[in-house]
Structure 1
Amino acid sequence: MDFARSDNPAVQQQLDRLAQLSLPQGRFGLDIIRQLLGRLGNPHEHLPPVFHVAGTNGKGSTCAFLRAMLEADGKKVHMATSPHLVRYNERIRIAGNLIDDALLASLLAEVLDASDGLAPSFFEVTIAASFLAFARHPADVCVIEVGLGGRFDATNVLEHPAACGIAALGIDHERFLLAPEEGAPQAPLARIAFEKAGIAKQGCSLVTFNYPLEAELEIERAALAAGALLAMRGRDWDMSSIAALEYRDQHGELTLPLPTMAGPHQAQNAALAVAMLRHQDFVTVSADSMARGIRSAVWPARLQRLGAGPLTGGPLGGVPLSGGPTNGVREIWLDGGHNPDAGQALKRHFDGQHLHLIIGMLANKDPASIIEPMSAQLASITIVPVPGHDSHGPDAFTAATSSAPDVPAALAALPDDGLPVLIAGSLYLGGEVLRLNNEIPV
């Protein structure tokens, strides 16, 4: 269940109504969202060209690259992503700007009023409000991130996207995506691919990475069954990234800059966004705009180096790291990753560098997914709660750890050794850290 708070009373009134909703156990499918959208006039049928992105890791970053490239080309872009980090408004971006409080309160009230008797989920209401906003406000293109899975995700009512994309695959949300189902693949990664590839649509490009064989076979089957035009990395497009992002497909080759977003995996996400743009015929984006978008794209709480602020210390004051000479200089990184692939990405980014880890993880996640890949690099591990959520305590961690009541206390207790700090384990924790450091997504 997602949680949301707002300083605006009108928005909070609707968020309180949202908080009473939950997905009934055992209910999967698109019937409720279709009925709800039908009561609202089917706004999803009146959107500008849509780029629809699924994946276990990297789908949000791919959306951020798409938006940045399209906007660099002068396009007005609607975007729907999840979860939010600090404010619910982050989920709905209208023509480049986060939805304002007055419109958000009005849309949520309209959708919730229309949902009487349907018992929709939090996410279904959110997507209905997003599509309603997008249908009523002019723009050139929509970028829509899948919430969970793909096949039964509320966003999958979209019938004629410009292009669909699948980012990196991994094991996550096992309770939902690996639930036993007749006719579904049994192997975990094949089942994940089966769920993600459920967004494939007839006549629409399905642009993907390359994956282990069992996953590729499921994606090929889904594309064939849907009549989608599969464009898979290594077959229909490819990329490499050393000094630059070298992209190639049947249309030719591009030399593009590397992203400013940290982590080698971001070059792959940027290439996926490029491939989606080049495997569709609805929207034209120049190579120069792609290059500028790759450099300008940001995606908070994904390997983000925190700036000076109340939490980190510096010009804005706040909690000092310690009294020693490195106070205010120590690198502090934030990442919301919480599965094994995220752990591997963090390991690659820090590449053997020693660091302190402050970690908070929801009770339904495995702490080992982050700690084990990085175990040889960790100078210390401090466990903190995830505010407002059930999260693991120190007894869930096998490695030697300490605990702190919150992130400020954890930072204050670190030795003044100059080593970088990584705060990780949950996007909900990431949102709290951004709030504390006055780095609110805009």
Structure 2
Amino acid sequence: MAGRESDVILSRLLSLHPKVIDLGLDRTYEMLECLGNPQDKLPPVVHLAGTNGKGSTQAMLRAVLEVAGYKVHAYTSPHLVKFHERIRLAGELISEDALQDLLTYCEEANENKPITFFEITTAAAFKAFADTPGDIVLLETGLGGRLDSTNVVDNPAVTILTPISMDHTQFLGDTISAIAGEKAAIQKPSAISVVGPQPDAAMEKIEDVARDKAVQMSRFGAEWSITDTGEGLRFVSSAATLDLPYSNLPGEHQVTNAGQAVAAILALRDQGFDISDDQIREGLVNVEWPARLQRLKSGPILDELGSNFDVWLDGGHNAAAGITLAKQAETWKAEDDRPLHIVFGMLNTKAAGDFLRPLAPYITKAHAIRIPGEENSLTAEEASAFAKEQGIDCLAKETVEAAISDLPKGNEARLLICGSLYFAGIILADNS
């Protein structure tokens, strides 16, 4: 990352952070006003919120739309290796020169006033989307929904609510219903609301918000369903019955994400987007989304471990992600009897025990590390203590390299590197 001028500008923007974190949209609207209100000059918008699956669902949507010939803008966070990943313009990551110019413009327009990093960079993304010709914007929330800086688009075409679980409780509330109420606020009367599978309390709150706003809903288990047939996926709704291939993203949870994407595509079809069934199939087969059960194929970790290890990377970090990974571990166990090792690092803002608990029965040995360069990381000793509380045999190691060196090299095994998207990004920077 050293040597990029955009990183220097981003560091300056971080220093503008208000002394007190107060969620709200006032600073975002003020910044957007300085930029000419680009949020009002966008092509049709698909707005995504939820706890798990936003990124994968967005990636599937983008893959299908691009196969169909559309120029897709996309916004996501956090990034894995470089900030440019957050802003995709007409199918391509924003270039370094364009990002430098964009950030400099926004920094000067802000005139050194207090603003959070996410607020000013989200405003920058809106300006980039408004200034670059495109057919559609895929817009992912950062935190929550009601007071998220992305929630300034008055008339989106589609909203998507992916599965909701406990996360960011210090900001969004300490119950599923409260968190769902915050995320459900992205629903708008102009937009069909695609809703993935939810806990009962979350679905009730989402339906209450939709009813109050007179929002048309497209819910998993009601207006649409998707199942694994053993040979592929079957999507069923009143508009279509589609037999689909498995997506290119592994894991049982990606079945649901595919369903959310297809339901959104059908909603866009109703609004004039020309997308064929075959283009949906091709998009699912071709989709890529790093650090979501991604199998590593090269790099120093594989060089160290050799061909005996299958190495997987996942950025999941909450209880729901732990359950998802446990289901995958169960699948691996059914395939063969290879031991499963994990190397993990986690932020101290996440419930490490809740993440590790579902995985515990499948883990042969764990190694805990502190996420390099991340001040909010659990120490290796703290992370290891959480693992031991779940009955996991775990060692604390100072570095990733030390953890990898300690793994047994003789027999076939699997390694899962997990616990944080920040950690996943560090791994991906050297292991693609």
TM-score w.r.t. structure 2 length? 0.93
Residue 18 of structure 1 pairs with residue 10 of structure 2: no
Which structure dedicates a bigger proportion of its chain to helix? 2
Per-residue deviation, residues 407-437 of structure 1 (Å, max 9, x unmatched): 2221111012321000000101000000121
> Does the 8 Å CA contact 1:201/1:226 hold for their aligned counterparts?
yes
Per-residue deviation, residues 94-152 of structure 1 (Å, max 9, x unmatched): 11111011110110111111112642210111111111111111111111111111111
Which of residues 288, 310, 327 is equivalent to 1:348?
Answer: 327
Query: What secondary structure does 2:349 align onto?
Result: coil
Which of residues 378, 391, 398 is equivalent to 2:377?
Answer: 391
Rounded to whole Å, the distance in 2 between the matches of 1:146 and 1:23 is: 20
Residue 267 of structure 1 pairs with residue 255 of structure 2: yes
Rounded to whole Å, the distance in 1 between the matches of 2:25 and 2:35 is: 16
Alignment of 1:268-287 (within 5 A): 268-280=256-268, 281-287=271-277
The 3 A distance-change label for structure 1 pair 66 and 202 is: same
Rounded to whole Å, the distance in 2 between the matches of 1:174 and 1:128 is: 25
CA RMSD in angstroms, aligned pairs only = 1.5
The 3 A distance-change label for structure 1 pair 383 and 208 is: same
> Does the 8 Å CA contact 1:259/1:297 hold for their aligned counterparts?
yes
Q: Post-superposition shift, 1:23? A: 5.1
Which residue of structure 2 lines up, in the alignment, with residue 184 of structure 1?
none
Per-residue deviation, residues 367-421 of structure 1 (Å, max 9, x unmatched): 2123211111111110111112132232432243212222222111101232100
Residue 238 of structure 1 pairs with residue 232 of structure 2: no
Query: What secondary structure does 2:300 align onto?
Result: coil
Per-residue deviation, residues 54-111 of structure 1 (Å, max 9, x unmatched): 1100001010000000001011111000000000100001111110111101101111
Alignment of 1:153-302 (within 5 A): 153-178=148-173, 188-242=175-229, 243-280=231-268, 281-302=271-292
Which residue of structure 2 lines up, in the alignment, with residue 317 of structure 1?
none
Aligned residues: 414
Alignment of 1:299-318 (within 5 A): 299-313=289-303
Residue 419 of structure 1 pairs with residue 413 of structure 2: yes
Query: What secondary structure does 1:408 align onto?
Result: helix
Tell me the amino acid that sits aligned with residue 424 of structure 1.
Answer: C
Rounded to whole Å, the distance in 2 between the matches of 1:16 and 1:120 is: 13
Query: What secondary structure does 1:240 align onto?
Result: strand
Q: After TM superposition, what 4+ stretches of structure 1 lie above 6 angstroms from structure 2?
A: none
Which residue of structure 1 lines up, in the alignment, with residue 424 of structure 2?
430
> Which structure 1 segments of 5+ residues have no match?
180-187, 314-319, 322-326
Tell me the amino acid that sits aligned with residue 241 of structure 2.
Answer: E
Alignment of 1:107-146 (within 5 A): 107-116=102-111, 118-146=113-141
Query: What secondary structure does 2:226 align onto?
Result: strand
Query: What secondary structure does 1:86 align onto?
Result: coil
> Which structure 2 segments of 5+ residues have no match?
334-338
Per-residue deviation, residues 19-50 of structure 1 (Å, max 9, x unmatched): 21335535122111111101111111111111
Q: Post-superposition shift, 1:210? A: 3.4
Larger deviation, residues 204-213 vs 332-341: 204-213
The 3 A distance-change label for structure 1 pair 118 and 223 is: farther
Q: Percent identity?
A: 38
Which residue of structure 1 lines up, in the alignment, with residue 45 of structure 2?
50
The 3 A distance-change label for structure 1 pair 50 and 305 is: same
Which of residues 147, 159, 165 is equivalent to 1:152?
Answer: 147
Rounded to whole Å, the distance in 2 between the matches of 1:56 and 1:47 is: 26
Alignment of 1:402-417 (within 5 A): 402-416=395-409, 417=411
Query: What secondary structure does 2:302 align onto?
Result: coil
> Does the 8 Å CA contact 1:162/1:282 hold for their aligned counterparts?
no
Which residue of structure 2 lines up, in the alignment, with residue 7 of structure 1?
3
Query: What secondary structure does 1:385 align onto?
Result: coil
> Does the 8 Å CA contact 2:195/2:220 hold for their aligned counterparts?
yes
The 3 A distance-change label for structure 1 pair 401 and 75 is: same
Larger deviation, residues 220-229 vs 428-437: 220-229
Q: Post-superposition shift, 1:13? A: 2.6
Which residue of structure 2 lines up, in the alignment, with residue 324 of structure 1?
none
Q: Post-superposition shift, 1:311? A: 2.6
Q: Post-superposition shift, 1:358? A: 0.5
